[in-house]
Structure 1
Amino acid sequence: MTDFDITGTSEPWVVFVPQGDAEVRRQLARLEAKGGHVHRFDSRDLVTERGIYAAFAEVLQFHGYFGWNWDAMVDCLDDLCGAVTGGVGIAAVIDEADRLLEVEHFPLFVSVLCQGADRANSAVDLDGFPLDRPAIAEHFVLEFREFDAEKIARLVSQPDLTVTTGDGFVGAALNPDEWH
């Protein structure tokens, strides 16, 4: 039994796991069987902020109005089209995420992913009013060749996130005391 489910709309939004984790593979297959989509990213494309914006805009088909900044990325992650989500949800998998641990923007990047996923996984807007769309399962999986849960948790920990550790994974979601 794991403490995360990337096929549904529950936290954590970002999951850090060893490369090739069997449970993640099962959950990705289940998401696709339900009609959701799995999108893969090469971490080499994500070592700069500009690279993140370009890779996410291309892979997740961000709208033309994407503003190429962190706030715009949160907005676009909340507003993914049906072609990207299958109307069900997505899991974005970042391969060999080890190289991201040392980049300056890594903690902010994780926070932005959590912010976008928190909004997409909700059926209400920021003011608590029902949206005109169902919640969409949206999760981000960072896979590591050399998985060090303590190091990952230490680097991701920040006041706006709740970081959890489990058997073979680290999870991150928005800290409700800071965001809700």
Structure 2
Amino acid sequence: MSSSVASFDLASPIGPWVVVARNDDRVAQEKVAALASGGVVRRLDSRNMADTAGLFTEFADKLEFPSYFGHNWYALVDCLDDLHGSWHGRRPVVIVVEEADVLVGRDFLPLFVSVLCEAAERANLSLDADGLPRSRPPFPLHFVFFLARSEVREVAKELGARDDMLIRESAGRLLVWSQSE
């Protein structure tokens, strides 16, 4: 496995877009902590995300989505790709899902991760909804899921049901990208 696949950089606009790690993964925790000084780290509480309505509300509240946010998957991609609020400033953004074990086994987990990959790909590569380049510069957007009780392999098995994501297991964590067509 190449070093580019085995590692991840949360401060740059390169994949993986989603990282799934255990709470005791020091490297992942340190990378999130290091970004806090020059970027933005927002933490979501998965206990509020046990269903899709709660998931959309948690994102809207913690990321200060505009009032017209539609509380659906398409609207989530759009709002993540075009982050609003004075807190952003085109700095690297990492959204951390704490205690992501709550999401393991939920029927929407694979779709949720796929949607996050789509939003991150659009933001990181500065692409519009049709996959065409935008005039604005890219900005780093990544998602980190921390697990306390579940195993990374459980999540890999669930995500593997979709064919629109590239999933690699490396150093005890999952690295997830959008699957190129």
Answer whether contact 2:104 2:150 (CA < 8 A) is retained: no
Counterparts of residues 12-161 of structure 1 (less than 5 Å): 12-34=16-38, 36-81=39-84, 83-127=86-130, 129-157=132-160, 158-161=162-165
TM-score normalised by structure 2 residue count: 0.89
Once the two structures are TM-superposed, the CA of residue 31 in structure 1 deviates from its matched residue by: 1.7
Amino acid at match of 1:167: A
SS in 1 for 2:156: helix
* Percent identity between the two aligned chains: 36
- In structure 2, distance between residues paired with 1:94 and 1:61: 16
How many aligned positions are there?
A: 176
- In structure 2, distance between residues paired with 1:127 and 1:104: 27
Aligned: 1:6 with 2:10:
yes
The match for 2:168 among 157, 164, 169 is 164
CA shift in 2, pair 1:33/1:75, >3 Å: same
Answer whether contact 2:41 2:96 (CA < 8 A) is retained: yes
SS in 2 for 1:71: helix
TM-score normalised by structure 1 residue count: 0.90
Which 5+ residue runs of structure 2 have no aligned equivalent?
A: none
Amino acid at match of 1:139: H
SS in 2 for 1:39: strand
- Runs of 4+ in structure 1 displaced over 6 angstroms? none
Answer whether contact 1:37 1:86 (CA < 8 A) is retained: no
Amino acid at match of 2:98: D
Once the two structures are TM-superposed, the CA of residue 99 in structure 1 deviates from its matched residue by: 1.5
CA shift in 2, pair 1:124/1:69, >3 Å: closer
Indicate the RMSD between aligned Cα atoms, in angstroms: 1.7
Pick which of 73-82 and 120-129 moved more: 120-129
